[in-house]
Amino acid sequence: MLRNLRLAARMLSKTPFVTCIAVLSLALGIGANSAIFSLFDQMLLQPLPVPSPEELVNLGAPGPKMGSTQCSQAGSCEVVFSYPMYRDLERTQTVLTGLAAHRAFQPSLAIDGEPLTGQGVMVSGSYFPTLQLQSAAGRLFTVADDAPVGANFVAVLGYDFWRDRFGSSPSVIGKTIRINGKAFSVIGVAPKEFSGTTLGVRPTVYVPISMRAVIEPGFTNFENRRAYWVYVFGRRKPDVSLAQATAALNALYRPIINDVEVPLQSGISNQTLARFKARLVTVNDGRQGQSSTPENAKTPLLLLMGVTGVVLLIACANIANLLLARGAGRAAEMGVRLALGATRGQLLALLLTESVLLALIGGVASLGVAHLTLKFIGTLMPSNEVGALVFELQGSVVLFTAALAVVTGLVFGLFPALHSTRSDLISVIRAGAGQLTGGKAATRFRATLVTVQIALSMALLVSAGLFLKSLMNVSRVDLGLRVDDVVTFGLSPVRAGMDSTRAAVYFTRVQEVLAAMPGVTGVTSSRVPLLAGQSWGTAVHVQGFTSGPDIDADSRLNQVGPGYFQMMGVPLIAGRDIAESDLHGGARVAVVNETFARKFGLGRDAVGKFMSDGENDSLTVQIVGLTPDVKYNSVKDTIPPVFYFAARQDWSIGELNFYVRSSLPVAQVMASVRGAMKALDPTIPVEDLKSMPQQIRENVFLDHMISILSAAFAVLATVLAAIGLYGMLAFSVTQRTREIGVRMALGADAARVRAMVMKQVGLMTLVGGVIGVAGAFGIGQAARALLFGLEGHDALVFSASVLLLSAVALAAGFLPARRAALINPMQALRHD
């Protein structure tokens, strides 16, 4: 074994260039896989770092939900419960050892007077006990910390925050910190590896869920069975199956639905009521916690895993080809070894040691590639998404890489090893007996490998082309806005402890201060940030539009500052913009978009009509303007119906996003914004300060990421395939030197010899290309959901890919063909 290793190492170091190419191919192939696997593992595989995570179950409450529903990153609106329902289920436990509730919130923290932003989670007292976690310092919440409502001003810190902000000092226990302006006492620190139960949220602080009204003034829904906002998970007793848990929980849930909740539902059709009565709790595996990220990330990640897998296959084919070529050179050596009495097994072991060693070296090098790839992917993702993931190599990834390397080594080493140890003694002795034949099986195998490589890179090129074109379509979307020189940021004074009436005054001051900054040509604001993926909706009543049960009267809305449309470069179709004079206490006004006017039957005559403020049916708001449809929360989604109220007419607004148009460089504008806001009120942090173009890019980051990565991997695949093609042809020309010499002696001229080699290129490209195109159709279909504005079989993309690959193949074939044509026909006469 050790001797084999030493021999293998010597073999590899004897041909340093070839070994380098091989190691590099492998490093790229394995590295790309490890990087994507790292993301895959984090998003889709890793269980929560808690004892027996397999016992955890996520509960869901699908079915019609009349009333209000608030959902978040922790999962879809289908799964949220009302607070009273959660408490009902929690009270009676038969199959679970604990049932926990949680909900994320945006905290404004103040520690020793210094304002900080972070992420917060409101959790039930049963949260930490259900997870069976032990504190890193102090203690964690118990059920006693969670009752009664609004009474327990206690907080638990996240471990990273404790380490980074307090240097892991135990003296933090008992300290008072301000969360949304209220004083909370720190009672403990969550354990080291634990960062909440929702991927994408890394909690800075945990507070009892019963404190929601304290940290969100105005919240009243602790008793409301028609307000759905709680995410619920539990821990099964060890001997209870998922099915048993489901049955037992529904035995509890169904009577509450039918006896308690059905009477609360009014104004709904019989059909909806029937569906409401049929509601059941769903119970799913909860070992990974609750998050919508895996669901969203699954398709792109699977796609990228597939792509990198293909890249690795192509790299492996190169190595196999290389080993075969080397094996051909060593046929005589193998023959002699066999003649000297070595068994085939011994030779196989030697050769496989060599290929596994090669793969392991490649594997080690691939860790660097994986690291860089991860860092690069990190730069492609917006900061709030990055927070969810670790862009560093973790133990599982290193293991994955090692396993991949060994398997790769065995797979690509096996055929070449089998082949080059097959040389029977007779043929060794007869070697040089004058036939121009070079191992037909090996030649065919090598050609097949290259053809497969061409097919695979064809498929990758097409899919990369599809994503690039999709991205081009995305970047060409007409947003209907002119925001290239606009900088945006958010302010949340109410969260920092200001009351909302004073916040209204503050917002007016902010507007004035921003407008007075040098270079600023326009300032406005909106409650829902523009094109940031957030949206806000409600059902409305509109003059002349008949509402009723089961009639869709939903619209998106926003509250905006004066001059909003002018500032965003949107010319109104009719009526006027929200004006400086639209103030609190004055006549309520709204601007609606065309889709809204169409949906509610207003047409072009929207201006002058009245609508309701939300779900109540008094028509108190007059529509004063009609705007063309412009993008609202997402670049790619179709534009929903939207109405805009005047933000200054609502004194309950706690947070507002501002937009500043300036002719100065973005960095300079950002710096002045920070300075001006700090001077105005240092206790209120500036949030999410960025340029609008960046906000828009982040809105479509997934498109950017997929197309950039798939293009990068496709280029890599094509380069590897080109190397493979080149290597295969170069080797075959070398092996056929004598044969080509004979052909030239028999009268083949240079053009004919070149054509002979290029014909081989053409054949492999044709066969590989056709297979690849067929495969690409499949990929195009599978990836349709990720494509924007094109089908999975875009003719332009397909033909461009075919042209590109043909050009690459011809280029790769050119040198060997030229070399073949330059062979001296004298070679035919050499007989030694």
Partner 1 sequence: MVATATPLIHMQGITKVFTTDEMETHALQAIDFDIAAGEYVAIAGPSGCGKTTLLSILGLLDAPSGGQYTLAGQPVAALSAVERARVRNRQIGFIFQAFNLIGDLTVAENVELPLTYRSDLTPADRKDRVARALGRVGMSHRARHYPPQLSGGQQQRVAVARAVAGDPAILLADEPTGNLDSKNGEAVMELLQELNAGGATICMVTHDERYARHAGRQVHLFDGRVADAAASVTAMA
As measured in angstroms, the least distance from the Cβ of 751 to partner 1 is 7
| 633 three-class SS | coil
Instruction: Kindly tell me which of 432 and 603 has the beta carbon lying closer to partner 1.
Output: 432
**Nearest C-alpha neighbor of 24 from the set 249, 332, 359:** 359
Instruction: Kindly tell me which of 304 and 744 has the beta carbon lying closer to partner 1.
Output: 744
Span between the terminal Cα atoms of the chain, in Å: 37
Long-range contact pairs involving 614-622 (C-beta distance under 8 Å, separation at least 24):
614/538, 614/539, 614/540, 615/538, 615/539, 615/540, 615/541, 616/541, 617/541, 617/547, 619/541, 619/542, 619/543, 620/588, 621/588, 621/589, 621/590, 621/645, 622/587, 622/588, 622/589, 622/590
Phi, psi of 368 (to 5 degrees): -65, -45
Q: Which amino acid is at 709?
A: L
As measured in angstroms, the least distance from the Cβ of 332 to partner 1 is 17
The answer for residues whose C-beta is within 8 angstroms of residue 121's C-beta and 6 or more apart is: 102, 103, 104, 105, 196, 198, 201, 203, 205, 206, 207
Is the distance from CB of 549 to CB of 462 less than 8 angstroms? Answer: no
Instruction: Kindly tell me which of 209 and 744 has the beta carbon lying closer to partner 1.
Output: 744
| Separation CA 409–CA 222 (nearest Å) | 60
User: Which tokens belong to 670?
Assistant: 């950002």
Instruction: Kindly tell me which of 584 and 752 has the beta carbon lying closer to partner 1.
Output: 752
As measured in angstroms, the least distance from the Cβ of 369 to partner 1 is 40
| Separation CA 129–CA 141 (nearest Å) | 8
Residue 162 host element (H or E): helix 159-166
As measured in angstroms, the least distance from the Cβ of 747 to partner 1 is 2
As measured in angstroms, the least distance from the Cβ of 741 to partner 1 is 8
As measured in angstroms, the least distance from the Cβ of 445 to partner 1 is 15
Instruction: Kindly tell me which of 389 and 828 has the beta carbon lying closer to partner 1.
Output: 828
Is the distance from CB of 489 to CB of 673 less than 8 angstroms? Answer: yes
526, HSE (Cβ side, Cα atoms, 13 Å):
22
Instruction: Kindly tell me which of 87 and 422 has the beta carbon lying closer to partner 1.
Output: 422
As measured in angstroms, the least distance from the Cβ of 827 to partner 1 is 9
| Separation CA 457–CA 311 (nearest Å) | 8
| Separation CA 317–CA 309 (nearest Å) | 12
Q: Which amino acid is at 626?
A: L
Q: Where are the beta strands (DSSP E) in 223-280?
A: 227-236
Residues engaged in binding partner 1 (CB under 8 A):
432-438, 440, 738-739, 742-752, 824-826, 828-829, 831
As measured in angstroms, the least distance from the Cβ of 724 to partner 1 is 22
Instruction: Kindly tell me which of 588 and 736 has the beta carbon lying closer to partner 1.
Output: 736
Is the distance from CB of 784 to CB of 791 less than 8 angstroms? Answer: yes
Q: Is the dihedral of CA 617, 623, 626, 629 positive or negative?
A: negative
List 57's β-bridge partners, or say none. 234, 285
Is the distance from CB of 556 to CB of 632 less than 8 angstroms? Answer: yes
The 8-class DSSP code of residue 832 comes to: -
User: Which tokens belong to 90?
Assistant: 């929690």
- The residue length of the chain stands at 832
Instruction: Kindly tell me which of 690 and 743 has the beta carbon lying closer to partner 1.
Output: 743
